[in-house]
Amino acid sequence: MKKHIAIVEDEPALRENYAAALARHGYGVKTYGNRKVAMQAFSTHLPDLAIIDISLEDEAEGGFDLCRDLRALSAELPIIFLTARDSELDAVSGLRLGADDFLTKDVSLPHLAARVAALFRRIDALRRPDHASDVVRRGALSIDGEKMQTTWNGTPVTLSLTEFWIVHALARHPGHVKNRQQLMDAANVVLDDNTITSHIKRVRRKFQQVDAAFDAIQTVYGMGYRWVE
Amino acid sequence: MSIRLQLLIVALTTLILPWAGCQYARELETALRVSQENALEASADTMAHALSAQSERVFRDVDDIEPFAASLGDLYVFPLHSPPLLDGYREDWGVAEDPKPLPTSTGYAARLQAGFTERYLFLYMEVDDPHFVAEPADVHPEIDRFDRVDLTLQQPDGSLESYFFATSAPGLIEAQTVIQGDDGVAHAATEPRIQAYWLQTSRGYHLEVRLPLSLVGSRLWIQALQGAGGGRAGFVGAEPLRGGRLFMATPGLDELLATFIRPGTRATVIDANGLKLGVAGTLNSIASDEGVGASGTWYRRFVTVDTSQWPLQVSSPERVTGRSVETALAGQPAAEWLRTASSQELLLSAAAPIMLGGQARGAVVLEQAGDQLLELRDQALTHLFNLTLLATALAVMVAFGVATFISVRIGRLRAAADSAVSNDGRIRLDMPESARADEIGALSRGFERLLARLNEHTQYLRTLGGKLAHELRTPLTIVRSSLDNLESEGVRADQRGYLTRAREGISRLQSILSALGAAARVEESIKQAERVNFDLNELLHSAVAGYRDAFSSRRIELDTPPDACTLRGAPDLIVQLLDKLIENAVDFCPVAGTITVRLRRSGSNYELAVINDGPPIPTALLDRLFESLFEHRQGQDDKPHFGLGLYIVRLIAEFHGGKALAANRPDGNGAVFTVILPLI
């Protein structure tokens, strides 16, 4: 079945480029230039995945509103924020609104496609609950690579797709230092050092919400990070 | 030249006031003097006219116009104020003039002076004759030889009478006349109306003679004869009458003059020879009042009319001389200023001729003390001087005060302008003095506006990097996503090169944007940074291990204390700080050079230093290195530099309550960047 992706982006050139790339991967793509048009379309027919820019035409945070409305329509619909803004605050706000991933526009089209594919894969995996999936266990941590779900001591930890891939990359080889480049590659993103740092910070905080004593991700200053058991 | 000095000089120009005042006073004085001259001259002229109308009261012999000839025996008779004692001394005559020598052909020296009172004529004679020859007892005047003085007198009736004076013993004597005795021999007979005193001295004798004016006509001859020898001196009266005229004050003229003159003026009438005929009045010279003299003298020299070149008054008891007198005797009234010889007093002398028959027969000389004028001038000048000096002092003080005030304010403004842009690049917008309404206030407000503009520019520049990085991201993304699409659509092998090059370009653009936005991102992360306690020592070890991998072409040494160095702060930021310092050090450190990372405890601080080999930093730049957008690299390398690296270091150091410093290595072969971080 053909998956339908909605792209809400006010920059036509970018919109068309994304649409063309995703269409090439076999997705049905619909593009919208602003929140109003997009919402009208969504109210009659929900897409399988939405890629939303934060600032839409004259609405500086129109994407956030759209995300909130969309989440109200569907709890499971994967939402990806794609924005030129890379501030911490935007990322935090976006993810708190229930987005599955927060990407800056630096992301390359293949990476974007990989991400979209991964999100669809997760939805499929979730729909097949008994499927013996590829689970990595590291002490209290368990990572389900198929469903892209993480639990700590059995409690689910909600990670964005980027965060999930970072944790996955670290936990797969405990004790090994992963430098920032390696983590970026694993997460299919091109990020600067600061963003990696804030991703790590966010990941730690999410684990610490589950277990205040969480200390498994260690910073190796000047090199990168490693998972310690 | 400082403003203070300039204004002081301006203020000192008020000194021109006393100078101008002095000039004015001097002109005023000259005018006053001229008017005084004219007034006195007019008075003298008036007097002269009045006197010429009653010439018989002025001249004893109106018709005698022969000039005075001392060589013929003409004699000036001094007026005596009181009858002197007949004692052979002339000290009580009150005549300053010395007796005049009588002519002699034998070397016999005798001197004569004459004086008169109301009733008597006095003669005084000094004869140098140490060998006294007394008059014999029964004298034969035409035969005997003895010291004698012969006197020939023209009597009022015109007849001549001869007397002689001699004595057997000095003392009071009487004149003697020669009478022909019955025996045909001349004898002497005394004339008791003519008395004399014979005083013998070591050099000779003095003879003081008193004879009543009633006996005296207009001529008189006197001769001293030596007893022991043929010496003689003096004149002999004989027909035809020559010389021997008596020139003396006209009786009653003094009283007549006194009616003309005003107090403080002295009037003298002289004859054509310049000899005094009458005097009235006294000069009330104000012998310099001490008060005026003392306070006035020191600056008088600047302003006074120079009187030292004025002619000296030639004073003589018998004569009046001088240019004005000469002019008057030549027929023209004249006035002149004189200095008295004794003191520095000034005298105004005016002379006018007494004309008789179209000829100047004499002159009236009026004299007035000039001191009054001088005093007047001194008082005026003293006041003027004191006032203007006071005004000048006041002006100088006010000017100095104003100048000080202004220069202090300008100094304050300058200091504020100097420090308006601090070393860390921050701009202080408020200037002192800006509330003032004057030009300095306007200048200050001008500065404020300028600084505000500068601040806007700086702010704009500071945020420009972040804005550019943000704004360029979308078009960049369009290009890159288009390239992605192009690549996915499939390009020919020969076209792939272009694609690769385009991607490289984009990658470089991206790193430029990333560098541009670096400071903005750090500021962002500082805002959200959380402080934790961490071991700085451990952080350095791990970080330096990473740098050694990354920059294997340089030796990176680590020099830290052996124990843990706990710091409260954001380790991520510290790592970024270290990244920037190391990047900077690597940029300047030659290949195979050494970079040392050193940590020290120093008092209540950690000192984290990154020391690199390499060229020293120009001293002038050391303070500015940590400013935003300050870039001093000369050469070009492949990485973009926007002068943000060390600014980020500063931002992070300040976040930790510390500061960043740059210095050159003491050996001059490298630089030291030190970050001071306070202990917890």
Average pLDDT over residues B346-366: 88
Contact B523, B651 (CB under 8 A): yes
In angstroms, rounded to a whole number, what is the distance separating the alpha carbons of residues B347 and B339? 6
* DSSP type of residue B337: E
The pLDDT of residue A129 is above 70? no
pLDDT for the residue numbered B529: 83
| Banded pLDDT at B295 (limits 50, 70, 90) | very low
Number of structural domains found in chain A: 2
Q: Is A55 in the same domain as A104?
A: yes
Phi, psi (5° rounding) for residue A145? -65, -30
CA distance B452 to B456: 6
- Find, in chain B, the residue whose alpha carbon is nearest to that of A111: B484
Interval B623-644: pLDDT, tens: 788 877 777 665 555 666 777 8
Q: How far is CA B298 from the centre of its chain?
A: 12
CATH number at residue A177: 1.10.10.10
Residues 555-614 of B with CB under 8 A from A: 571-572, 575-576, 578
d(CA B388, CA B15): 8
Nearest to A141 by CA among A132, A150, A149: A150
Domain containing residue A82: 4-126
| Separation CA B543–CA B558 (nearest Å) | 10
Structure tokens at B486: 């192009």
Provide the 8-state DSSP code for A103.
Answer: E
Residue-level pLDDT at B638: 60
Query: Is residue A97 located within the same domain as residue A156?
Result: no
The pTM (predicted TM-score) of the whole model is 0.55
Task: Note whether B62 contacts A: Cβ–Cβ < 8 A.
Answer: no
**Contact at 8 Å (CB) between B194 and B207?**
no
Q: What is the ipTM of this complex?
A: 0.83
> What is d(CA B98, CA B77) in angstroms, rounded to the nearest whole number?
13
| Cross-chain residue pair B514–A11, CB shorter than 8 Å | no
Question: Residue B121 above 90 pLDDT?
Answer: yes
Q: How far apart are CA A76 and CA A50, in angstroms?
A: 11
Over residues B207-226, the mean pLDDT reads: 91
Which of the pair, B307 or B366, is modelled with greater confidence?
B366
A111 shares its domain with A142: no
Most confident of A80-94, B100-114, B294-308: B100-114
A110 and A26 share a domain? yes
Shortest Cα distance, chain B CAs vs residue A17, angstroms = 6
For range A177-191, the mean pLDDT:
82
Other beta carbons less than 10 A from residue B540's beta carbon:
23
pLDDT score for B291: 40
* Number of neighbouring beta carbons within 10 Å of residue A113: 21
Q: What are the DSSP calls for B199-259, one per residue?
A: EE-SSEEEEEEEEEGGG--SBEEEEEE-SSSS-EEE----SSP-S-BEEEPPTTHHHHHHH
HEC per residue, B66-118: CCCCHHHCCEEEEECCCCCCCCCCCHHHCCCCCCEECCECCCCCEEEEEEECC
pLDDT of residue B424: 65
Chain A neighbors of B485, CB-CB under 8 A? 17, 20-21, 24, 109
Weakest-pLDDT range from B218-222, B262-266, B565-569, B633-637: B633-637
Chain A residues with CB under 8 Å of a chain B CB are: 11, 13-14, 17-18, 20-21, 24, 84-85, 87-89, 104-106, 108-110, 192-194, 197-198, 219-223
B470 CA: distance to closest CA in chain A (Å): 7
Mean pLDDT of chain B: 85
pLDDT digits (tens, 9 = 90+) for A65-74: 999 999 888 8
* pLDDT number for residue A122: 85
pLDDT at B294: 44
Helix axes A193-210, B518-528, angle to 10 degrees: 20
* CB B417, CB B447: distance < 8 Å: yes
My answer on whether A21 and A116 are in the same domain is yes
Mean pLDDT of B33-41: 88
Average pLDDT, chain A: 86
Cβ partners under 8 Å of residue B234, min gap 6: B73, B102, B103, B104, B110, B112, B150, B221, B222, B223, B224
Name every chain B residue with its beta carbon within 8 A of the beta carbon of A197. 525, 572
Q: State the pLDDT at residue B423.
A: 66
Residue B288 has pLDDT above 60, yes or no: no
Ramachandran region of residue B381, left (φ > 0), alpha (ψ -120 to 50) or beta?
alpha
Q: What distance lies between CA B113 and its chain's CA centroid?
A: 56
**Are A120 and A167 part of one and the same domain?**
no
Last residue of a domain, one of A126, A148, A179: A126
Task: Out of A17, A88, A193, name the one closest to residue B482 (CB).
Answer: A17
Question: Chain B interface, mutation test: which of A221, A225, A226, most B Cβ atoms within 10 Å?
Answer: A221
Last residue of a domain, which of A126, A143, A173?
A126
Higher local confidence (pLDDT), B680 or B19: B19
Query: How far apart (Å, rounded) are the C-alpha atoms in residues B398 and B296?
Result: 27
DSSP conformation class of B138: S
- CATH number of the domain at A53, please: 3.40.50.2300
- For residue B221, the model assigns a pLDDT of 92
Phi, psi of A79 (to 5 degrees): -125, 130
Res. A28: pLDDT tops 90: yes
Question: Would you say A144 and A196 are in contact if contact means Cβ atoms under 8 Å apart?
Answer: no
Strand duo B204-212 + B75-79: pairing: unpaired
Of B473, B539, B544, the CB nearest to A105: B473
Same domain, A135 and A121: no
Sort out which chain B residues have CB atoms less than 8 A from A222's CB and list them. 542-547, 575, 578
Task: Flag whether pLDDT at B461 surpasses 50.
Answer: yes
Residue B7 pLDDT? 79
Say yes or no: A12 and A110 in one domain: yes
Cβ-nearest to B488 among A24, A194, A221: A24
Is pLDDT above 60 for B285? no
Q: B196, B175 in Cβ contact below 8 A? A: yes
The residue in chain A having the minimum alpha-carbon distance to the alpha carbon of residue B511 is A192
Could you tell me which chain B residue has the CA closest to the CA of A53? Answer: B474
> Whole-angstrom Cα distance, residue B368 to residue B279?
13
The answer to whether residues A111 and A87 belong to one domain is yes
| A98 and A8 belong to one structural domain | yes
Q: Which of A126, A146, A174 represents a domain boundary (last residue)?
A: A126
CB contact under 8 A, B547 and A222: yes
Q: Mutating which of B468, B470, B480 best tests the A interface, going by the most A Cβ atoms within 10 A?
A: B480
**Residue B521 sits at the chain A interface (C-beta within 8 Å):** yes
The minimum CA-CA distance between A175 and chain B, rounded to whole Å, is: 15
Least CB-CB distance to B575: which of A20, A88, A221?
A221
A122 and A46, same structural domain?
A: yes
pLDDT of residue B210: 94
- Identify the pLDDT of residue B678: 92
- pLDDT tens by residue, B573-595: 898 899 999 988 998 888 889 99
Which structural domains are found in chain B, ordered by start? 15-59+251-378 (3.30.450.20), 70-248 (2.60.40.1190), 439-518 (1.10.287), 529-678 (3.30.565.10)
User: Nearest-CA residue of chain A relative to B482?
Assistant: A17
pLDDT at B297: 55
Q: Which residues does B536 contact at the CB level (< 8 Å), separation at least 6?
A: B565, B566, B567, B574, B599, B606, B608, B677
pLDDT value of position B356: 87
Return d(Cα B241, Cα B222) in angstroms, integer. Answer: 14
Phi, psi of B605 (to 5 degrees): -130, 160
H or E stretch covering B507: helix B493-516
> Please, which pLDDT band fits residue B611 given cuts at 50, 70 and 90?
very high
Spatial distance between the Cα atoms of B340 and B318, rounded to a whole number of angstroms: 17
Of all residues in chain B, the one with the smallest CA distance to A20 is B485
**What percentage of chain B exceeds 90 in pLDDT?**
22
Residues A52 and A72 in one domain: yes
Count of CB contacts below 8 A, A vs B? 81
| Confidence category of residue B431, pLDDT binned at 50, 70, 90 | confident
Which residue in the block uniquely carries the two structure tokens 């490298």? B670
Residue A108 has pLDDT above 90, yes or no: no
